Amino acid sequence: MRHYLAYLLTVILSSPTLTMAAETFITAPTMDVTVKAAITLPVCDINVIQSVGLPHAYPEQFAAGGIFSALGPTDYSGDDIYTPFNITLTNCGSETVPIPRTLRLTLFSPSIVDGVLETRYFPYSSESGGSVTKNLGVVIFNTDGASARNVLLNEFILTDQTATNSEQVFHFVARFQKVGTEEVVAGSYRASVLVNAAYE
């Protein structure tokens, strides 16, 4: 059986005894702090294309009135400004007795701010170095449900799932996201994100 093993750890914190000038002692009250943690078994082989190329865009599309300036991080327009890609899970385990579980599929990066993945800018004349840009990022949507949702804002959660060794395919799309007020300039923009999957 492959799943999270949860446990609780209670830590008692107390402050040191304080000494007053008249040798009177005051002891601060203790406080219970509950710390929750989970131990997980490695599950699922994750297959995803290593490089997702976004459609070419032009600086004027990010200026006022342009298609990208009109879209927020939660807006999915379905236009040709998206690149589709799949995340496929296999070998997630087979249980003798099927147990409804929650599948958590997380796309993570320390460079995600308010649901937007920060990018690094590379001028066309240089392929080395690159600099973090604050005016242009990437958003990623899952398109399996009735409405697309930005999976960089929250993890992708499916309830009442059974761990299976069969192939499971999830559909996503990515596009540029204009942030800030600075002008977007021509060049190469790159970003990276980690994908993690686990049943609990």
Residue 167 sits in a domain whose CATH number is 2.60.40.1090
**Cα–Cα distance for residue pair 118/109, rounded to 1 Å:** 9
Query: Is residue 177 included in any domain, yes or no?
Result: yes
Q: How far is CA 24 from CA 2, 14, 16, 17, 136, in A?
A: 56, 18, 14, 10, 62
Q: What is the 3-state secondary structure (H, E, C) of the chain?
A: CCCCEEEEEEEEECCCCEECCCCCEECCCCEEEEEEEEECCCCCEEEECCCCCCCCCCHHHHCCCCCCCCCCCCCCCCCCCCEEEEEEEECCCCCCCCCCEEEEEEEECCCEECCEEEEEEECCCCCCCCEEEEEEEEEEEECCCCCCEECCCCCEEEEEECCCCCCEEEEEEEEEEECCCCCCCCCEEECCCEEEEEEC
Query: Is residue 12 included in any domain, yes or no?
Result: no
Query: Is residue 2 included in any domain, yes or no?
Result: no
Query: Is residue 9 included in any domain, yes or no?
Result: no
Query: Is residue 86 included in any domain, yes or no?
Result: yes
Query: Is residue 139 included in any domain, yes or no?
Result: yes
What mean pLDDT comes out for the span 180-199? 89
The reported pTM is 0.75
CB distance 48 to 86 below 8 Å = yes
Residues 6+ apart with CB under 8 A from 196: 46, 104, 105, 106, 108
> The tokens of 84 are what?
């589709």
**Per-residue pLDDT tens digits for 26-44:** 676 777 787 877 655 556 8
**Per-residue pLDDT tens digits for 102-151:** 888 889 899 999 999 999 888 876 666 678 888 899 999 999 988 899 99
Based on the structure, what is the number of domains in the chain? 1
**Per-residue pLDDT tens digits for 47-73:** 998 889 999 999 999 999 999 999 999
Query: Is residue 85 included in any domain, yes or no?
Result: yes
Query: Is residue 20 included in any domain, yes or no?
Result: no
Parent domain of 194: 43-199
